Amino acid sequence: MAGLNGDPFLGIDDNIEKLQYNNNSKEVIDKEGLVVGIGEDSSNNKNNNQGGEKDMAGNSIHRSGSRPQLDLSKAEIQGNSEERDPTILLPNQTDDISHLALDIGGSLIKLVYFSRHEDQSVDDKRKKTVKERLGISNGNRRNFPILGGRLHFVKFETSKLNECLDFISSKQLHRGRIDSHHWNSEAPANENAVIKATGGGAYKFADLFKERLGVSIDKEDEMDCLVAGANFLLKAIRHEAFTHMEGHKEFVQIDHNDLFPYLLVNIGSGVSIIKVDGDGKFQRVSGTNVGGGTYWGLGRLLTKCNSFDELLELSQRGDNRTIDMLVGDIYGGMDYSKIGLSASTIASSFGKAISDKKELQDYRPEDISLSLLRMISYNIGQISYLNALRFGLKRIFFGGFFIRGHAYTMDTISFAVHFWSKGEAQAMFLRHEGFLGAVGAFMSYQKHGLDDLMVHHLVERFPMGAPYTGGKIHGPPLGDLNEKISWMEKFVLKGTEITAPVPMAPPGTTGLGGFEVPSSRGATLRSDASALNVGVLHLVPTLEVFPLLADPKMYEPNTIDLSDHKELEYWFTVLSEHLPDLVDKAVASEGGTDDAKRRGDAFARAFSAHLARLMEEPAAYGKLGLANLLELREECLREFQFLDAYRSIKQRENEASLAVLPDLLLELDHMDEETRLLTLIEGVLAANIFDWGSRACVDLYHKGTIIEIYRMSRNKMQRPWRVDDFDLFKERMLGSEGKKPRPHKRALLFVDNSGADIVLGMLPLARELLRCGTEVVLVANSLPALNDVTAMELPDIVAEAAKHCDILRRAAEAGGLLVDAMNNNTLDGSRGNSSSVPLMVVENGCGSPCIDLRQVSSELAAAAKHADLVILEGMGRALHTNFNARFKCEALKLAMVKNQRLAEKLIKGKIYDCVCRYEPAT
C-alpha cells in the first residue's frame, strides 16, 4: 500500500529517524523500544514534543511554533516488511505536508521543490543472493524510507507572483503530487495543506496563497533559513563555492569539518552580513540598505529599464569612465602611488556628473548602469571586508540574487575585498547563490533528511534543458516527450545558431519554448542572469565513497585537465565529430522510426547547445572534467528516451564472442601458468579495442569483422608495452624462486565494453582468479553508456559462458548468478558445490563510460570492504579517470589507448599503445 498521496516521504520528519519496525508485528518502534501509536494521543508521545527536543546526538532541534503537526498514532509498516524501503503509513495524519518551499523576497521569489525518482531497481533472486553474501541488509543502513529524488530550483519576479502561483498549481506542487503520472488538477483541495516559506512575502502574500491554492503558509525565520541553506550547500555539494578574479572562475573545495566560522553576505534587495559559527549558530553582525534593490530602483529611474536582467545586460556594454571620477582625472592621468591608488581607481562614483554640463538624456544608459553596478558592488565588498576584519575571518561567502552569476559583479566585489585586505581575505561565491533561503525553508520540513546527506549522495545533472535550466517557467508542465521535441524544433525553425542560448519564455509556453541568442557575449562581462548555472540536484542516499581509496580527500577522478582551453577545444571537437555516428546508432536502436529520427535530431541539437555553452564558459556547470562531459552526453540521450543506443550492437557482439569462447578456454587450459597469465593480460588489452566511443575504432569497424579486428589487435601485443608492469604483477600472482604467494581474498573487476571485451578478455581473467581461490566481483554500469556492458546484462552473459566452463558454472552458482537449474548444456549436469569461491556481479552506481569513485553504489562499497585487488579496465575507467588514483589495496589498470591526444598527454605514446599498470597496496 502506498503512503500518503502515493508518496512514502509525505508526513515523515526527523521523528522517523528514531523509528524502527518489528517485522513480525509491523509495529513502528522508537529508538528506546516504545511502540509508537498504539492508540495513545500523539501529543503525549515522548518523541513528538514540540519544545526542547534533542536529536540522537544531543543537539537541540529548532521547532517552529506554527509547523505542520505530525500524527504518528497507529503508524505501521504497510505491505511486505521484507521490502527494501517499506512504506510507513500514518493513518491519522491530517496536515498535508508538501514537497515545496519558497523564499519570497522583495524582488524575487525563489522556489525549491522535490520530485521522486522512479524506482527502476529489480529486486530479483540473483540480486538478493548477492546482497546476502555481501552482508547488505534491507534498506542500506536505515530501517525507514529514505529520500531519493530530485531537487529543482526555479525563480520568478515577485511582481509576477501570479505566474509563480500558476506554476505551482500546474505541477500540483501544493498537493505533494510531483510525479507526472499523479498530476490531477481535479483533486479536491485539502484545507489543512501547508507549505513552508520564508522572506517578507511569506507574511505579505499568505492570504493570496490561501485564496488561490487553498494552502496555508508555514512561516520560517529568514535568517535561520539563510544560514541553514548555506551550510547545507557548502557541506553537501562538491563544487558549490568558487572565487572569481579578473574573469577567472576557480572552484574551492571546502572541508566541511573546517567550514566554520565564516562570514555570509546575502545581497538581496538589501544586504545582511551574518557571522556563522556552526549549524544553527549565527549572528547578524551588520548590513546595509544599499543592495540589489538600490541598483534596480536607481537603475530603473535613470535608464528606464524594465527588468533587473535588462539593467545588467546594459552594464555589459557600458564605460563607467564617462561618469565616474577616477584618480587619474584628479592627478592628470597619473597614479597616486604613494597610497597605492592607480589612475583607473574610482575616486568618486558619478563624480563627473558634477562638472559635466549634461542632462540625464545626454548620458548613455549603458554607462549609467555600469557606474551604478560598480558603486554598489565596491561598497558591499568593502563593508563585508571590514566586518570580516572585526571578527578575524578570512573567508567571506557572497550570496543573493543581486550577483546572479554576473562576472563583472563578482570581479568588482572580489577586487574590493582583495584591495582592502591586501590579499589576506578572500571573496567566494555560491552557485546556488539565490536559493539559500529557499533551501533552508525546504530543510525545515525535517522529514527529508537533507541534513544527513553528504557530498557523495548528491549528483548535479544537466540534461536536455541544462543551458536553460532555471529560466522563466510558465504555464502547464511538460506532458510528454513530443512537447520537448516541439520546443527544440521551434528553436531550429527560428534559424537561431546554437551558441549558448538564454531562455526567453513567451507567455503561455512551458518556459522551454523559444530561445534567443544573448545580445551580448562579452568575455568577463557576460551576464548569466537568465540562465542560472544550476541543474537538477539528484539525491541518491545509496551512493557512497569507495572505501578502498587511499585518500578520498586528495582523490581527483579526471585525468585530463580541461581548464586548458586548447585541450577543451580538442575534446569538444572529438565529441562533435562522433555525434552523427552516435545519433545513427541511437535511432537504429529504436527501429529507425520517424519518431526515433525526430528524437535523434533533437538530442543532437540539445547536446550541441551544451557543448557551445561550455565552450564559452567551461565552469558554467561546475568544475569540468572529461568524465563530466561524457556523462552529460549520456544524460542527454536518456532525456530523449534513448535508453540504450547500442543495444542491438551489444547483443550481436556478445553472441559472436560467446561462440568462440570455448576454443579460447581450451587453448588457455593447455598452457603453463606463466604463459597463461601473459596470454590473459594480452587478451584483456586486445579485446579492449572494441570501443564504440573511439573514432579510431569506429573506423576499424567499417574495415573488418569482429574476429578480424581482434586478430589484428592480438598481433599488436608485442612487449614491452608503453606502460608495462606485467612482470611485477606476474611475481605477485605466481611468486618467485619457487615460492608461491597467497591468493587474493577478493578481486573487484571493473569491466568495460560488451562483446569481446567482457567475453574474451575479462571473463577468462576472472576465471583464472577463481581457479586460484579468489572471490571475484564483476563491477559494471548501473545504466547503459555507449557499448559498455551493464550489471543487468552481465548475469545472462555469465550464464551463457558457464555452459562451456565448469569453473565459471560453480562460481556463478555460488555467487547467486545461476539461481535456476542449469539446462542440459552444462558440462556434467551437477549443481556444483557450495564450497566453490563465488563469482558475483554488482552495479557501480553510474551510467557513464567513466567512473567517479567518490560516488559508487552501496553494494559496490560493501563488496569493497573485503577486497584486496582492484582491476580497472578500459580507457574510461583506467585512463580518462583513475589513472592517477591510489588505493589501499593492490591495483591493476589495463587499457588500450584509442585516442592519439590521450596517448601523447598521458603516456607520451601513440594510438593503440597498451597500458598495464600494477600498483601494490599503499
Backbone angles phi, psi at 378, to 5 degrees: -60, -45
Rounded to whole angstroms, the Cα distance separating 274 from 285 reads 6
Q: Which pLDDT belongs to residue 96? A: 46
pLDDT at 388: 96
Contact 244, 410 (CB under 8 A): yes
- Does 652-818+834-917 match 225-442 at the fold level? no
CB 543 within 8 A of CB 457: yes
Alpha helices in 285-364 (DSSP H): 292-303, 308-315, 327-330, 352-355
Unique residue bearing C-alpha cell 525549491:
112
pLDDT at residue number 739: 84
Task: State residue 886 phi and psi, 5-degree precision.
Answer: -120, 140
| pLDDT the model gives residue 368 | 96
> What is the mean pLDDT of each successive set of 10 residues along the chain, which is 922 residues long?
29 31 36 30 34 37 37 48 43 54 89 73 65 64 55 85 87 63 44 85 95 92 94 90 91 88 93 95 96 94 90 90 87 73 83 89 95 95 96 93 87 92 92 91 74 83 50 45 66 42 29 25 34 74 94 93 86 90 92 91 84 83 88 89 91 89 92 95 86 53 59 76 96 89 96 93 97 97 95 96 95 85 39 70 94 95 96 96 97 91 88 93 88
pLDDT of 35 reads 30
Which CATH number does the domain 67-117+145-174+191-220 belong to among 3.20.20.70, 3.30.420.40, 3.40.50.720, 3.20.80.10?
Answer: 3.30.420.40
CATH entry 1.10.3470.10 includes domain 559-638:
no
Return contacts of 551-555, CB within 8 angstroms, 24+ apart.
Answer: 551/886, 552/854, 553/255, 555/853, 555/854, 555/885
What secondary structure letter does DSSP report for 339? G
**Per-residue confidence (pLDDT) for residue 537, from 0 to 100:** 87
- Confirm or reject CATH 3.40.50.1370 for domain 225-442, answering yes or no: no
Contacts of 878 (CB under 8 A, 6+ apart): 750, 872, 893, 894, 895, 915, 917
At residue 616, the pLDDT reads 81
What b-and-e string marks burial along 890-920, b requiring 16 or more CB atoms within 10 Å of the CB?
A: bbbbbbbbbbeebbebbbebebbbbbbbbbe
Q: Are 236 and 457 in contact (CB under 8 A)?
A: yes
Dist. CA 281–CA 653, nearest whole Å: 60
Identity of residue 406: H
The 8-class DSSP code of residue 822 comes to P
Domain ranges across the chain:
67-117+145-174+191-220, 225-442, 559-638, 652-818+834-917
Q: Residue 917 gets which letter from DSSP?
A: E
Residue written as cell 562638472?
355
Exposure b/e, 613-650, CB count within 10 A at least 16 = b? bbbebbbbbbbbbbbbbbbbbbbbbbbbebebbbbebb
Distances in Å between the Cα of 338 and the Cα atoms of 341, 346, 371, 406, 421 are 8, 16, 26, 33, 17
Amino acid at 121: S
Tell which CATH classification among 3.40.50.10880, 3.40.50.2300, 3.30.540.10, 3.40.605.10 matches the domain 652-818+834-917: 3.40.50.10880
